[in-house]
Amino acid sequence: LTLSGPCDIMVFEGVPGGPLDCWRDLKSPAEHLAASKRFLDTYLPWEGARAAKVELTDAKGILAGAFAPTIRKPVMTLPSGKLVFGLGDAVVVNDPVTGQGSNNATKAAKVYLDAILAHGDAPYTREWMEQTFERYWDYAKWVVQWTNSLLLPPPPHILQVLGAAQQSPGLAGLIANGFNHPPSYFPWWSDAAEAGELLKRHQAVARAA
């Protein structure tokens, strides 16, 4: 919903040096819209047909940018000597392809809150902050690994799992629910042998049913 009424939003993501890595050269809203429609016509022609007559809601109806996934040190010292404990995108920046930004911030907040409540009146030292972040990193490292893997062409075992999920509700549910808890994708997401065992288990369930 915009100031001028309801709208649909198109999002395009591309790897550096690829065909979608062109936004910095586009200067006007009209150029952005033309490039968007060109991408649809080239890669998703059925969507291009639907978008043939789309218009921008206004001259500010575009946004473009680029960044690299980044992991930062969780604790910073201010000029005053006070410590700052980072959370969310301030510390762990993922590519948005998996939609994990707000998920990560929420999960980190829960880890931090539990640690604060358990800490009582003890001082909040750098060591405590770093240990607390490591507890969160035990979760977040899997999010980072999974998200980064989706920036590359999928290996054969992932294609096999995704293909099998079309006929297996249990496997499809496992993949869908993993968006809420990416550690559940491992080890099979990164290990072809483990993926093979996963397929065998779900095939056995399907036969038993």
Q: What is the token pair recorded at 16?
A: 């550096």
Please tell me whether residues 108 and 145 are part of one structural domain: yes
* pTM of this structure: 0.83
Are 41 and 65 a contacting pair, CB within 8 Å?
Answer: no
**pLDDT tens-digit profile of 119-165?**
999 999 999 999 999 999 999 999 999 999 998 899 999 999 999 99
Please tell me whether residues 175 and 192 are part of one structural domain: yes
Domain CATH number, residue 130: 3.50.50.60
Please tell me whether residues 58 and 84 are part of one structural domain: no
Q: Which domain holds residue 4?
A: 1-66
Please tell me whether residues 95 and 53 are part of one structural domain: no
Number of domains, the chain: 3
Please tell me whether residues 162 and 181 are part of one structural domain: yes
**pLDDT tens-digit profile of 155-203?**
999 999 999 999 999 999 999 999 999 999 999 999 999 999 999 999 8
Are 136 and 111 a contacting pair, CB within 8 Å?
Answer: yes
Kindly report the CA angle at 105 between 140 and 90, in degrees rounded to 5?
A: 90
Dihedral (C-alpha) 153, 170, 191, 13: value to the nearest 10 degrees? 20
Are 84 and 75 a contacting pair, CB within 8 Å?
Answer: yes
Please tell me whether residues 95 and 83 are part of one structural domain: yes
Nearest to 146 by CA among 191, 111, 107, 88: 191
Please tell me whether residues 16 and 43 are part of one structural domain: yes
